[in-house]
Amino acid sequence: MLFSGSYTALLTPFKNSEVDYDAYRKLIDFQITNGTNGLVPVGTTGESPTLSHEEHKKVIEVCIDEANGRVPIIAGAGSNSTSEAIDFVKHGCEVGADGLLVVTPYYNKPTQAGLFAHYTALADASSKPIIIYDIPGRSVIGMTDDTMKKLAQHDLIVGVKDATADLGRPTRLLNIINENFIQLSGEDGTALPYLASGGHGCISVTANIAPKLLSRMHNAWRQGDIKTAQEINKKLMPLHDALFCETSPGPLKYAASLLNICSSETRLPIVEIAPESKHRVEQGLKFAELM
């Protein structure tokens, strides 16, 4: 399958309000060395809403350069403006991304007909496969299964990153689309049961700091070693929960700072997490034996 297993929704490191490209390259190498199956730059975890368009494009270019063909890259290319998203899609294609991740338009609240028109326009402008990013918790509007079925008829709309935590959905989509439609969880806490329902992988926040464990979990699942997959999932569950005790990626960046991956710096309106949240993150890291 084109995209499957453990993909990392990469954070974007900052230093003194600027993108820290040195830390970013080290993070990418850390991911690949520890078995991550693929990388997703400039998604929600990468603080895409507060990156300038120039930064957005450069972060993708640096990711592709550092990965150097070792793993696939699905570049974030979403916007609530179709024309802006088309620009990001064309850029991702031109610089060598293997696929594009496009979020449902936030704030505008398009109808299902609007979603269909938006994604069709992007796919028509693309030369690379597109993954629909369905995350109604952040974008308000969600995509129905019927709309997804219609979009899947386009040759370049190949899958979904599903952050709805609806564990019945993978099976429903298997029934109405087909087994070749890629289904990636966008929710760490339910990623393993998502696989059991017919999913193919996860675009993970936790993988930024636990790439080896999550790679092992997905490999164990593929090999039929359910017990090992369950044990790893159990070990990581307190960390999964802790990383969303406040708005992501605030807790993640604090965890990354404790592991000397990058600073905890975020961009407003994301702020430093509270002391009690820091304690939860620390406990989650300890339970997972990462510190």
Indicate which residue of 128, 161, 253, 278 is catalytic. Answer: 161
Residue 105's region, left for phi above 0, alpha for psi from -120 to 50, else beta, is beta
Indicate which residue of 7, 24, 133, 194 is catalytic. Answer: 133
Alpha carbons 128 and 185: distance in angstroms, whole number:
21
Residue 56 CB neighbour total at 10 angstroms: 23
Torsion sign over Cα 183, 188, 189, 195: positive
Determine contact, residues 257/266, Cβ cutoff 8 Å: no
Paired with 154 in beta bridges are none
Is 133 labeled as catalytic in the residue annotation? yes
> Which class for 213: exposed (0-12), middle (13-18), buried (19 or more C-beta within 10 A)?
buried
Report residue 279 CA to chain centroid gap: 25
Three-class SS state of 91 = helix
Which residues are part of the catalytic machinery?
133, 161
